Amino acid sequence: MLSAALLCWLLQYGSVQHAAGQVAALFQAAIAVAWAMLLLWLWTRWRGIALFAQGASLLPALWGGALFTVQWACLYLAVDRSALWRVALLFGLMAVLMRAAAQGRWRSRLGFAAGVALLAVWARATGQGGVGLLTLAAALAFVLGLHQVRCAQMQRQDLMRWRFYQLCVAALLLPLAAVAFSPSWSFLPGWSALGAMLLQAVCGGVAFPFLLAAALPEARNEAAGDARITGVVGPDA
């Protein structure tokens, strides 16, 4: 499952670079997230899953959507400015170090500090400071979102509902971010660019969180239906 999640990630951001000549990266993100929201909604309607059948706390849902928006916006900008392998390596390394540091071990925190220091040295030496900061911000948003909802311990229906909340918030915020922060406003999509954005919606917007949840070690320790994320996707008290 981890290899499938990694493949989804690489396909998503590789297609960003493929379509960058026709559609600016942030505008790709805005379109892909809207399509992903539509696809997930259609899937739940077909399967008879009621996304709004249970109450959910609004603030955690908004916070999760904001983190998701930051993650996507920063990564789309980063892969538009640098090689995919470099962004993937930096993002994966920072995410692993941050997640380990969040567990409270001093060695993990020391390793994270050393990783940030090495990232700063590399960015200064290569002139890739902007890419380094974008990737670091994306990794932080990813780890905070993962820690907030503990997606590996969610029931599949709850995870689907939570992902839909993320996509809804991002569908509102990413077009604003594209207008405000995109270095280019190019928007002349051909069939290849439309196909690339559809691939981003399917791989990154819909498939990735479920593959990642199944791949994380905690998922193997949870019986089906054991855990709920109270105050996030579960009923309000």
Predicted local confidence at residue 102, as pLDDT: 67
**Tens-digit pLDDT profile for residues 19-62:** 988 999 999 999 999 999 999 999 888 877 777 655 556 677 78
Q: What region does 82 belong to: left with phi over 0, alpha with psi -120 to 50, or beta?
A: beta
Predicted local confidence at residue 150, as pLDDT: 61
| Burial of residue 224, with CB atoms counted within 10 A of its CB: 0-12 exposed, 13-18 middle, 19 or more buried | exposed
Spans of all domains in the chain: 2-49+57-221
As a whole number, mean pLDDT of residues 91-102 equals 79
Predicted local confidence at residue 223, as pLDDT: 36
Q: What mean pLDDT, rounded, does the chain reach?
A: 79
Q: What angle is formed at CA 5 by the lines to CA 34 and CA 195, rounded to 5 degrees?
A: 40
3-state class of 1 per DSSP? coil
pLDDT value at 227 more than 90 = no
**Tens-digit pLDDT profile for residues 51-96:** 765 555 667 778 888 999 999 999 999 999 888 988 888 888 888 7
Residue 49 phi/psi, 5-degree rounding, is -95, 125
Distances (CA, A) of 202 to 39, 90, 218: 8, 24, 25
Tokens found for residue 91: 């993002």
Predicted local confidence at residue 228, as pLDDT: 38
Distance of CA 12 to the CA centre of its chain: 11
Q: Which residue has the higher pLDDT, 85 or 97?
A: 85
Residue 194: DSSP 8-state:
H
Tokens found for residue 106: 């001093």
Q: Which of 201, 209, 214 is nearest to 64 (CA)?
A: 209
**Tens-digit pLDDT profile for residues 112-147:** 666 677 767 666 666 667 888 898 899 889 988 887
Predicted local confidence at residue 74, as pLDDT: 94
Residue 106 phi/psi, 5-degree rounding, is -65, -35
The continuous run of DSSP H or E covering 218 comes out as none
Which residues are CB-contacts of 178 (< 8 A; sequence separation ≥ 6)? 24, 26, 27, 29, 30
- pLDDT-derived band at 170, boundaries 50, 70, 90: very high
Predicted local confidence at residue 183, as pLDDT: 84
Residues forming beta bridges with residue 67, ordered by sequence position: none
pLDDT value at 219 more than 70 = no
pTM for the complete prediction? 0.83
